[in-house]
Amino acid sequence: MRIRHAETDDADELACLLNDIIAEGGRTAIDAPLTGSEFAEWFIIGPHCISCLIAVTDGTVVGFQALERFHGDLAPGAADIATFVAERGRSSGVGRSLANATAAIAEEAGLQSLRAVIQSSNEDAIGYYRSIGFHGDADRTTSESVTLMRCIAPGRDA
């Protein structure tokens, strides 16, 4: 598996991957398919985008992870993280490999913490984020979503 930065030329393939995950239902709050150009704006080139990494296995994209500052409620030094892995790539280390690379980018960018907002019904995603060092914040959990945080800067708490 190879982890690399997404490029705009990847947008159509990444949109297809995301659209398949949307069609599965219950795995993302995104509820409408995206075109390649919409994907690029949302995850690769938009002014809120920090990074978008992709995992490639045998020449096929099997997942991506985006780091962004889109939501106005983020604390200074924090960014949102979103992870999407194709069914064929789940439970194979794709998410963990993406997370390790994204954490290095976040630290280089001077971020202190990452936030993941996950649908409460998506137990697989909640388990994944907890397994890579995210922890919960009861004040930010609702019946619809769970907010988990991960400290990036050494010696700092999210």
User: Tokens 């997370």 belong to which residue?
Assistant: 99
Q: Report yes or no: 127 and 99 within 8 Å, Cβ to Cβ.
A: no
Confidence of residue 155 (pLDDT cuts 50, 70, 90): very low
pTM: 0.87
Q: What is the CATH number of the domain that holds 55?
A: 3.40.630.30
Residue 69 covered by a domain: yes
pLDDT tens digits, one per residue of 56-83: 999 999 999 999 998 888 999 999 999 9
Three state DSSP letters for 65-90: EEEECCCCCCCCCEEEEEEEECHHHC
Residue 120 covered by a domain: yes
pLDDT tens digits, one per residue of 18-43: 999 999 887 787 889 999 999 999 99
Task: Domain of residue 146: give its range.
Answer: 2-151
Using only the alpha carbons of the chain, give its radius of gyration.
15
**Structural domains counted in the chain:** 1
Residue 157 covered by a domain: no
